[in-house]
């Protein structure tokens, strides 16, 4: 329901209820409120913030803490968020006339999408109020009613009991009166097997350097790690994952927890689920050190964490604990690192929900780093095993991060400061198509003294005060900077982009004396030593004549990418994309109103397409139709001008449409399948194909999956290709039915990966390598070397911005000349037949 229904039912000149227009900024995290409403029939109003409104239910008898008691909850109109603060009397004669008082309020969370769960009719959630805590359920009934009927009931957890809402009204404002409102609480039931304060005090006292303390637990300045390039070696070091989240120090005093950021800003109210989890440890006093993360705590999950704390999403948050500084009257800061972690591991042997122990590896640091990167983590933290805990940045903790490197044009420099010679930092820029260069940040580390002097001498004679790149940040250093026409290319290590779109922690890798800045604009002009791909194509005069209309139109609304940028992408990537689609029947995805609005597939020619070729092909039923065919850059760019975003070629050439020269297996995971399982599936497909004597290649889909591609030479008839692909997919599903499925029916795909073989029939298509996808962020279907797969974070890892940089950097197709080798499917079928393997029929 919308707020329109809320407003329709009320006369705001006669009721004190908030007349919100629904545009009020949402709270930082989703709230809930339960209000006791003395209307014509006394009831409780149960409200959960979902998006920018309060989803609301009328619960006649109020919530029960008994999991066996299911309360009727009638769905009513959405209310504005302002309503959570409303208390008072609604005049008689008005809708809902009667007294409204607050029973309880706080924050709430759920795993997954709240709107999707409500649409399906079952919402699982947790409440963090003064009275209502723990897990709850709302389940929609099938009973016909004027208003949708739901059942509200408690989950069986430590907060379950026999209490009813009416048992907790001592602090609720009575009708016609006021109350001092002392906080009424629902106490958690005592743990069945309490660890006990005495046990941990005795255990902690046995650690080397441990000492008794009467000091109340409080905030401790955290120990910090120094950034290092190399992993320290030897068994004197232990290595943990480097989690990508927010550092939090937890204090427990008399069983109650408080949380602080590393800068001593209190976070207790921001993450009540973590507070509840820490209190569930049943410790009397303690100081703990850890990281607040979302999802798996990877780099890609950091945005999810920020969005959850901002109230934009409602993801599961966890507190990953890696140190303990005090417990039950014993200070452990002087105890060795390995002993502190051993005690923490005991305390977290059966951790409450939302708490995670950060395990480690002793020695074998290179293995630890490889494992962390394989899991998509940023790197590792190496800690000296025998060291005490010391606040601040020291050498006992070291962080080693995965660092990407990319190439940028040098567009200026800053003056040196202090005793530094030469220059302070190089100013970097990235190409932006027809708009020139965009400032990307400055790099001031990684230089030798000789490099500083050489670069200063080279740049100073050409320097001027006017910027030579588009600058969209307010950096006082840039006002005093000197700018140069971009010719030099610098390759820098970095950790992605920050909030302003500038490089995070860049460090110089090298000055690329073999390249010029112009090479970054046109990947087709780069040297391609050792590449077996066809010779570089020059853009013809016909292609140069193609220009986009309405270049300012935004195509990807989430990232502000314009039609001009899409057009420039395809112009720059024509060298790589054309061999994938050239001379093949082609379908395109056109988005005339942008990727955020409805798009459509097109496979036939449209009037006005003058540079795109056609091929007449017979369709089902015997009719013939003109299919699109791209033969050169001009045709490709014309389709981009016609708002084509995606390119989906046949697995056959237009000259021989009945003979397939490639097989594509699309590994399409269900929504609850982890990315690591998709990677494992691709590797398994590769091993199975190799056992049949077939070489395969892998690419990202630009979505959530991967494609495994098998070139065929000689080309093979479509029926045989489809039968082979079908049999192969079914064999995988039969061997591991809990992991894979070979049917497109969605009800069978939960928790499984669909081995989609259906792209291997006459007329079927699959997205081309290097094609954009019409999805948020402008992802790209990117071919990979098999050894790169483990470093990937998802099927949409490459985008319009990063794909050209990657290809400019590697200079050749990741698959090499993949269509040159002989792969005869007929020979494979003959070997299988000789070995007695029966053909799988449909």
Q: What is the pLDDT of residues 797-833, one digit of tens each?
A: 999 999 999 998 888 899 988 877 789 998 888 877 6
Cα(204)–Cα(102) distance, rounded to whole angstroms? Answer: 44
What mean pLDDT do residues 65-83 have? 90
Number of domains in the chain: 5
Check if the beta carbon of residue 646 is closer than 8 Å to that of residue 639.
Answer: no
Cβ atoms of 516 and 487 within 8 Å: the answer is yes
Residue 29 domain-assigned?
yes
Beta-carbon contacts of residue 340 (< 8 Å; ≥ 6 apart): 207, 323, 324, 325, 332, 389
- Give the structural domain span for 730: 659-761+779-829
Angle value at C-alpha 238, between 232 and 242, nearest 5 degrees: 85
* Cβ–Cβ < 8 Å for 594, 553: yes
Lowest-confidence segment of 139-148, 277-286, 548-557 by average pLDDT: 139-148
Alpha carbons 610 and 78: distance in angstroms, whole number: 53
Under DSSP, the state recorded for 538 is P
What is the average per-residue pLDDT within 205-212? 89
CA distances from 825 to 637, 694, 741 (A): 35, 8, 24
Residue 175 lies in a domain: no
Residue 182 has pLDDT above 50, yes or no: no
The residue out of 148, 168, 188 marking a domain boundary is 168
Token output for 26:
């949402």
Mean pLDDT is lowest, of 140-149, 199-208, 334-343, for 140-149
Buried b (16+ CB within 10 A) or exposed e, 532-569: ebeeeeebeeebeebebeebeebbbeeeebbbbbbbbb
Question: From its phi and psi, is residue 542 left (phi > 0), alpha (psi between -120 and 50) or beta?
Answer: alpha
Strands 355-357 and 317-327: parallel
Please state whether beta strands 753-756 and 740-741 pair in parallel, antiparallel, or not at all (unpaired).
parallel
397 & 411 share domain = no
Strand stretches in 363-506, DSSP E: 379-384, 392-401, 404-414, 425-431, 437-443, 482-483, 489-494
pLDDT at 653 over 80: yes
Inter-axis angle of helices 633-641 and 574-581, nearest 10? 100
Distance CA(509)–CA(507), nearest Å, equals: 6
* Cβ neighbours, 10 Å, residue 633: 25
Q: Tell whether 56 and 111 lie within a shared domain.
A: yes
Statement to judge: residues 721 and 668 lie in one domain: yes
In a domain, 721, yes or no: yes
Q: Are residues 670 and 635 in the same domain?
A: no
Whether 57 is in a domain gets the answer: yes
Q: What is the pTM of this model?
A: 0.47
Contact criterion met (CB below 8 Å) for 608 and 634:
no
Average pLDDT taken over every residue of the chain: 84
pLDDT band, very low/low/confident/very high, at 543 (cuts 50, 70, 90): low
Query: For residue 66, is it within any domain?
Result: yes
Output the six-digit token pair for 693.
């004597």
The residue that leads in pLDDT, 509 or 334, is: 334
Average pLDDT of the segment spanning 148-165: 88
Cβ-contact 195, 284 below 8 angstroms = no
- As a whole number of angstroms, the distance between CA 451 and CA 484 comes to 17
| Kind and range of the H or E run holding 562 | strand 561-562
pLDDT for residue 523 is more than 70? no
pLDDT at 402: 67
Q: CATH number of the domain that 812 lies in?
A: 3.90.920.10
Burial of 161 (0-12, 13-18, 19+ CB in 10 A): middle
Helix ranges (DSSP H) in 561-674: 563-572, 574-581, 633-641
- How far is the C-alpha of 354 from the C-alpha of 292, rounded, in Å? 10
Domain limit, last residue, from 362, 386, 401 = 401
Query: In this predicted model, what pLDDT tens digit does every residue of 446-475 receive, in sequence order?
Result: 887 878 888 999 899 989 989 999 888 878
In this predicted structure, what is the pLDDT of residue 833?
Answer: 67
User: pLDDT tens for residues 384-441?
Assistant: 999 999 988 888 999 887 666 678 999 999 999 888 888 999 999 988 766 788 899 9
Q: Tokens representing 231?
A: 């992993």
Taking the C-alpha atoms of residue 711 and residue 697, their distance in angstroms, rounded to an integer, is 9
Do 794 and 747 fall within a single domain? yes
On whether the CB atoms of residues 637 and 567 are closer than 8 A, the answer is yes
Same domain for 215 and 314: yes
Query: What is the gyration radius of the CA atoms in the chain, in angstroms?
Result: 31
Distance CA 833, CA 842 (A): 17
List, for residues 618-633, the tens digit of each pLDDT value.
877 667 788 999 998 9
Nearest to 129 by CA among 33, 255, 30, 254: 33
Task: Give the per-residue pLDDT at 34.
Answer: 94
Residue with tokens 């990979």: 784
CB 383 within 8 A of CB 214: no
C-alpha–C-alpha distance, residues 96 and 79, integer Å: 13
Task: Determine whether 185 is an active site residue.
Answer: no
Q: What is the mean pLDDT of residues 38-43?
A: 88
Q: How many CB atoms lie within 10 A of CB 236?
A: 13
Element (H, E) at 247: strand 246-253
Q: What is the CATH number of the domain that holds 473?
A: 2.40.50.140
What's the confidence (pLDDT) of residue 300? 67
- 412/297 same-domain check: no
Q: Which of 627, 649, 671 is the last residue of a domain?
A: 649
- Structure tokens given for 284: 């009397």
**650 vs 535, more confident:** 650
151 falls within a domain: yes
Same domain, 595 and 556: yes
Do 475 and 396 fall within a single domain? no
Among candidate residues 45, 29, 109, 43, the one with its CA nearest the CA of residue 77: 45
Residue 186 has pLDDT above 60, yes or no: no
- What are the pLDDT digits (tens) for 725-749? 999 999 999 999 999 999 877 777 7
Which member of 55, 105, 131, 242 is catalytic?
A: 242
pLDDT at 514: 60
Copy the structure tokens of residue 273.
């689920």
Q: Could you tell me the CA-to-CA distances from 542 to 477, 569, 628 in Å, in that order?
A: 45, 18, 18
One domain for residues 128 and 277:
no
Q: Is residue 842 one of the residues assigned to a domain?
A: no
* Rounded CA separation 137/483 (Å): 61
Specify the higher pLDDT residue, 307 or 669: 669
The answer to whether position 575 is within a domain reads yes
Confidence check: pLDDT of 713 > 80: yes
Task: Mark whether 298 and 387 lie in a shared domain.
Answer: yes
Lowest mean pLDDT among 66-70, 255-259, 504-508, 516-520: 516-520
Residues 435 and 449 in one domain: yes
Kindly provide the residue ranges of all beta strands, DSSP E only, lying in 786-831, ordered along the sequence. Answer: none
């Amino acid at each position: 329901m919308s707020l329109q229904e809320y407003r329709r039912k009320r006369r705001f000149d006669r009721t004190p209820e908030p007349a919100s227009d629904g545009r009020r900024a949402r709270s930082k995290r989703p709230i809930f409120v339960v209000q006791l409403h003395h209307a014509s029939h006394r009831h409780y109003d149960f409200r959960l913030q979902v998006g920018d409104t309060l989803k609301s239910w009328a619960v006649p008898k109020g919530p029960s803490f008994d999991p066996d008691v299911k309360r009727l909850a009638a769905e009513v109109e959405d209310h504005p968020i302002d309503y959570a603060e409303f208390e008072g009397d609604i005049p008689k004669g008005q809708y809902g006339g009667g007294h409204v008082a607050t029973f309880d309020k706080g924050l709430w969370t759920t795993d997954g999408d709240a709107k999707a769960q409500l649409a399906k009719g079952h919402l699982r959630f947790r409440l963090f109020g003064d009275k209502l805590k723990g897990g709850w359920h709302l389940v929609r009934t099938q009973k016909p009613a004027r208003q949708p009927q739901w059942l509200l009931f408690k989950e069986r957890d430590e907060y379950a009991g026999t209490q009813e809402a009416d048992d907790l009204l001592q602090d609720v404002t009575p009708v016609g009166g006021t109350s001092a409102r002392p906080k009424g609480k629902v106490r958690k039931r005592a743990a069945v097997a309490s660890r006990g304060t005495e046990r941990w005090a005795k255990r902690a006292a046995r650690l080397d350097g441990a000492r008794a303390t009467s000091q109340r637990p409080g905030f401790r300045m955290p120990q910090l790690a120094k950034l290092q390039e190399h992993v320290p070696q030897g068994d004197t070091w232990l290595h943990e994952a480097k989690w990508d989240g927010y550092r939090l120090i937890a204090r427990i005093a008399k069983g109650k927890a408080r949380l602080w950021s590393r800068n001593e800003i209190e976070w207790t109210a921001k993450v009540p689920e973590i507070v509840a989890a820490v209190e569930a440890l049943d410790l009397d006093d303690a100081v703990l050190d850890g990281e607040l993360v979302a999802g798996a705590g990877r780099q890609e999950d950091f945005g999810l964490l920020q969005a959850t704390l901002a109230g934009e999403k409602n993801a599961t948050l966890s507190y990953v604990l890696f140190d303990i500084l005090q417990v039950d009257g014993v200070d452990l800061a002087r105890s060795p690192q390995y002993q502190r972690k051993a005690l923490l591991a005991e305390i977290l042997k059966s951790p409450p929900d939302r708490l995670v122990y950060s395990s480690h590896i002793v020695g074998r640091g290179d293995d630890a780093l490889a494992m962390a990167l394989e899991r998509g983590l940023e790197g590792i933290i190496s800690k000296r095993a025998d060291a005490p805990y010391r606040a601040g940045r020291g050498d006992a903790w070291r962080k080693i991060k995965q660092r990407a490197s990319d190439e940028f044009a040098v567009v200026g420099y800053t003056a040196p400061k202090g005793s530094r010679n030469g220059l302070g930092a190089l100013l970097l820029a990235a190409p932006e198509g027809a708009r020139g260069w965009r400032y990307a940040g400055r790099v001031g580390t990684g230089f030798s003294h000789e490099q500083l002097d050489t670069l200063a001498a080279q740049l100073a004679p050409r320097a001027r005060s006017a910027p030579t790149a588009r600058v969209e940040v307010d950096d006082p250093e840039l006002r005093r900077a000197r700018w140069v026409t971009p010719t030099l290319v610098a390759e820098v290590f970095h950790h992605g982009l920050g909030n302003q779109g500038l490089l995070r922690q860049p460090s110089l890798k090298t000055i690329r004396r073999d390249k010029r800045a112009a090479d970054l604009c046109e990947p087709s002009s780069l040297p391609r030593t050792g590449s077996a791909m066809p010779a570089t194509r020059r853009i013809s005069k016909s292609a140069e004549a193609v220009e986009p209309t309405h270049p300012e139109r935004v195509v990807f609304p989430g990232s502000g990418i314009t039609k001009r940028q899409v057009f420039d992408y395809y112009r720059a990537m024509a060298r790589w994309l054309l061999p994938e689609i050239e001379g093949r029947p082609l379908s395109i995805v056109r988005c005339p109103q942008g990727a955020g609005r409805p798009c459509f597939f097109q496979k036939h020619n449209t009037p006005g397409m003058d540079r795109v070729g056609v091929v007449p092909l017979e369709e089902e039923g015997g009719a013939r139709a003109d299919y699109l065919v791209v033969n050169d850059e001009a045709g490709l760019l014309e389709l981009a001008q016609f708002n084509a975003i995606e390119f989906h070629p046949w697995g056959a050439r237009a000259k021989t449409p009945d003979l397939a020269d490639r097989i594509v297996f699309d590994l399409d995971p269900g929504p609850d399948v982890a990315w690591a399982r998709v990677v494992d599936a691709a590797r398994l497909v590769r091993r199975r194909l190799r056992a049949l004597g077939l070489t395969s290649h892998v690419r990202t889909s630009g979505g959530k999956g991967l494609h495994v591609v098998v070139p065929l030479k000689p080309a093979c008839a479509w029926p045989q290709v489809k039968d082979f692909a079908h049999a192969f997919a079914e064999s995988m599903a039969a061997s591991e039915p809990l992991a894979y499925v070979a049917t497109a029916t969605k009800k069978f795909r939960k928790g499984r990966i669909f081995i989609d073989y259906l792209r291997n029939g006459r007329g079927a298509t699959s997205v081309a390598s290097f094609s954009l996808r019409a999805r948020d962020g402008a992802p790209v279907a990117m071919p990979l070397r098999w050894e790169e797969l483990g470093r990937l974070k998802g099927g949409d890892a490459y985008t319009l911005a990063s794909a050209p940089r990657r290809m400019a950097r590697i200079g050749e197709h990741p698959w090499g000349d993949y269509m040159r080798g002989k792969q005869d499917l007929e020979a494979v079928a003959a070997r299988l037949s000789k070995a007695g393997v029966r053909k799988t029929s449909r």
